[in-house]
Amino acid sequence: MRWKKLDKTIIKTIRKRVKNGEYKKDVAKELGVSCSVVRKYTKDIPTILRISEELEQKIRDKVKTGKNKKEVAKELGVGYNTVKKYTIDMNKVSRIPVELKQQIREEVKKGKLKKQVAKELNVSYSAVRRYTRDIKYDLSRKRSPEQIKEIRANVRKYNSKLETARKMRLPHHIVRYYTIDIKIKRGLPPEIKEKIRKGIENGKTKRQIAKELNICYNYFVDLTKDIKHIPKKADISHRAFLLLKDTVNRGYALPSSKYGLNEYQILKKKFPNICRVKMYGRVIFFLKDKSDFALRAFLEITDRKIISYQELQQLIDVFHGHMKKKDKKKYLGKTN
């Protein structure tokens, strides 16, 4: 499909507007022409700088003072890319004054931690590290004998050099420097091991004991590999417990997906009063004391028609129950 040629008058207006400094996109929208057509007829027209020399100088002056380029763009109402364009040749100016740099270096030379200096002077930790890379902690500088004694005592107390460094707020290598001769024994004392064994015998888990002793769980597991945790098995499974619950509450229980024959066999060993009857394709569990209730429930559930007294008496004998003549007449010839 060929595009129609534009009138000479429209082409002249496009070229005039672009020469005056208007954006090609705006010209295309107003005249109802595509941007590619505007570009086609304005190839020979050079782009004009849309920022005056005064505004350019203001941008450069404000960036020199140390302001962020995004802030400068907002203040002057100029795009961020234009600010970047006219300040490419300018190096980044450090926002921290010289006096503060010297103060940071002096504090670190005294022996303070870099994190501590950053908090005191309200400076980022990365800035403190940047301006103190060449400074090393002077290990030859002697500390007071009282402090050295405290370091050595804490290392023996906590059985860890890293933990003493954290609690005393000292660098780790300084603690190691004054405790080279002290060897840390990896392991737990026999008194604590006895406590762990007693706790495991009482049914506690290793995680619970680790919390009580304030020891990391993974470290605790490594140190107690020789102590095996033997979990106590429940005497009755959950499904057997449900069966027992139903039989105690109602006097009888009907099997379902929750429990069945296996659960009955488990309970029979510990509770000999529980009985099981299977007749007419139906199963029922019941207690010996509640045999009459179980018999009536079974007769209501069964779909089979009981015709004779003899058949009914057989059922009563199986359940080891009793039934009056009036009640027997109710269930004769009855079907659900």
Residues 6 or more apart in contact with residue 197 via CB below 8 angstroms: 227
Say if residue 294 is in the same domain as residue 307: yes
* Residue 1: pLDDT over 50: no
pLDDT digits (tens, 9 = 90+) for 132-161: 888 876 655 567 788 888 888 888 877 778
- Assess contact for 69 and 84: CB atoms under 8 A: yes
Q: pLDDT tens across 20-37, in order?
A: 767 788 888 888 888 888
Residues 66 and 105 in one domain: no
Tell whether the model's pLDDT for residue 334 goes beyond 60. no
Burial of residue 260 (CB within 10 Å: 0-12, 13-18, 19+) is middle
144 is a domain residue: no
User: Among positive and negative, which fits the CA dihedral 320, 321, 322, 326?
Assistant: negative
d(CA 136, CA 117): 15
Q: Give the angle 39-35-13 at the CA atoms, nearest 5°.
A: 70
60 and 24 together in one domain: no
In a domain, 59, yes or no: yes
Mean pLDDT throughout 255-273?
76
Tokens 């993974």 locate to: 218
Q: Tell me, yes or no, whether 242 and 197 share the same domain.
A: no
Look at residue 265 and tell me if it is in a domain: yes
Are the CB atoms for 322 and 290 separated by under 8 Å? no
Does the pLDDT value for residue 331 go beyond 80? no
Check whether residue 245 and residue 318 sit in a common domain: yes
Domain identity same for 32 and 63: no
Highest mean predicted confidence (pLDDT) among 17-21, 152-156, 198-202, 268-272 = 152-156
Q: Is residue 158 a part of any domain in this protein?
A: no
Sheet bearing 282-287, strands edge to edge: 252-253, 282-287, 274-279
- 111: tokens are 């022996």
DSSP 8-state symbol, 298: H
Residue 50's pLDDT is what?
63
pLDDT tens by residue, 290-308? 888 788 787 777 767 776 7
Averaged over 42-71, what is the pLDDT? 78
- Per-residue pLDDT, 3: 54
Is residue 173 one of the residues assigned to a domain?
A: no
Residue 199 shares a structural domain with residue 283: no
Q: What is the pLDDT of residues 158-193, one digit of tens each?
A: 777 877 888 887 877 788 888 888 877 666 667 777
Angstrom distance (rounded) from CA 298 to CA 22: 96
Other Cβ atoms within 10 Å of 266 Cβ, number: 19
Q: Does 231 fall in a domain?
A: no
Judgement on whether residues 18 and 80 belong to the same structural domain of the protein: no
In this model, does residue 336 exceed pLDDT 50?
A: no
Look at the chain and report how many structural domains it folds into: 5
In a domain, 78, yes or no: yes
Q: 231 vs 250, which has greater pLDDT?
A: 250
Q: What percent of the chain has pLDDT over 70?
A: 83
Instruction: Map tokens 């950053």 to a residue.
Output: 118
Same domain, 33 and 57: no
* Residue 148 forms part of a structural domain: no
Q: Structural domain of residue 108, as residue ranges?
A: 98-131
Residue 263's pLDDT band (cuts 50, 70, 90)? confident
Alpha helices in the chain (DSSP H): 8-20, 24-31, 35-40, 53-64, 69-76, 80-85, 98-109, 114-121, 125-131, 145-158, 161-168, 172-178, 190-201, 206-212, 217-223, 238-250, 261-270, 291-301, 309-319, 325-331
What tens digit of pLDDT does each residue of 105-122 get?
888 888 777 888 888 888
Structure tokens, 34? 């595509």
Span 272-282, pLDDT tens digits: 888 888 877 77
pLDDT at residue 258 greater than cutoff 70:
no
Same domain, 113 and 33: no
